Structure 1
Amino acid sequence: MDFIEVTVLAPAELSDILIAELAEVGFDTFEENDAGFCAYTTEDVFNPDAVAEIMSRYEAQGELNYSHRIITRQNWNAEWEKNFQPLVIAERVSVRAPFHPKPEGVEHDIVIMPRMSFGTGHHETTALMIENQLDVDHRGKRVLDMGCGTGILAIMAEMLGARQVLAVDVEPWTVENARDNAAENNCRTIECRLGGVETLADEAPFDLILANINRNVLLEDMHEYARLLPSGKPILFSGFYEEDLEKITAEAERQGLMYQRHRTLRSWVSALYLKA
């Protein structure tokens, strides 16, 4: 299945609103830039009429232009290699492609080949999750990474001392990519599995759950995450905006997950909860 990229040229204050609107019609990955942003979804989810309707409602609020294109699976490598730059998160974690030199002075060096998967660390939610992971004890823990993408959070979990990591995603090429990235980083504890929460029916409890997906999926599946988490154990959520934190927290508390703290970056959130 191919991706759809919608490129939007708009002022910053309008971009934030449009990102929130597009998230409501199936777009789940966004890359902001000086001129606006790019939004991504899969071809089966893309609804051009819904996008056009959103844009028409905001045309009067500022200079606004948009276009879309298909990014085929075979062209994905060329797309990200053209723009992918290495980065350092929290001055402790390097994220780079295999063709970048290994940096000096960081505790953890993660090598990522994204292919068709999102999750290079450049998106705010991934960076926020990694920052939160650095503050959570992973040593000897059994960890679940839901919506694993490239496997970057699962890799981070093993580097932080997890004894076992289950990385789950609904896209076949994503699971394949996560496996390859785990091997690239010499990981030995990571199992990559295709599917959603239904694949966890017979799983034993986890000591830590990482769920960087999107607001709607988090709300729908939160009861399953809570079921798999013993009392006193942490869960990290991301993939939603500051305006959605109250709704996420309300559902979390209904499921016995107590809010602890959160980080924000350009309106995106990663929040930590503990099972009561």
Structure 2
Amino acid sequence: MSLRTTLRVKTPPGFRVDASALLPVRLAAMSVAEIERIVLPAGNDRCIVGDVFEVSRGEATPALEAPHAGATLVIENAAPWLDRVGARMTDGHLVVHGSTGDYSGFQMAGGVLRIEGDAGHFTACEMRGGRLTVTGHCGDFAAGALVGDMEGMTGGTLTIHGNVGARLADRMRRGLVLVGGNAGEFAASRLVAGTIGIAGQLGAHYAYGMRRGTLLLTQRPAQLPPTFTGGGRGFDVFWALLVRSLAGEIAPFSQWHAASLPTRYAGDLAVDGRGEILVVS
């Protein structure tokens, strides 16, 4: 059974805190006293873990253990002032009870991060691997790129049960993003590759500048982009493999059947034109 470290918020600091130092594997190698002395940046200020959190140590239950991971970190009573939760995480299992601030899972490369609440802007920004789940809503630029950078998400799986803000998966190059609710404007904009599924409604300008990749929709949009054209056959095998890979994901994506082929649209013809929108009715 793996080691579990629990951080329970006891005294909110009154300002935003960079929590990127709070990673499961790193904390598993430290004593409780050492963890309490960790200094967390907070803009022009700083705080000590022991002043903000109550730290405890125990054994992880099987339900919290990550496959092939030897460390679990649980953050309780989390609030949106906690930024960069799970940033650059490479291994282990991090569970957050409550909401997080911006940059959760920033450049995450491995492990499992589960946020049982809402997440702020830039969640899974430039994510490279692992699995990130948000049970609530999410802000803008999820799975996207930092301003000025050329690549968004390049690997891993991001699942958002609720709604997501603008610029979902902007410049995404690889990976899987599933949204159980609605998406804001410019969803899948400048998509280079990867797969995005949106169960709810779309904002304006979705699939803008889409070069390659797949956008899965469970609702037919009121208006298709003028730079996409209908048609396309011979993707039966691809569809069967995709449906199989989604079997363990959230509904409705897990409920699709290979025999029910979606309606396909190709584009964005203003750029490469090799992307596709699949509408599953």
Please confirm whether the aligned pair reaches a TM-score higher than 0.5, indicating the same fold: no
Q: Greater share of helix residues, 1 or 2?
A: 1
**Which has the bigger relative contact order, CA under 8 A and spacing at least 6?**
1
| Length-normalised TM-score, structure 1 | 0.28
- TM-score scaled by length of structure 2: 0.28
- Larger Cα Rg: Structure 1 or Structure 2? 2
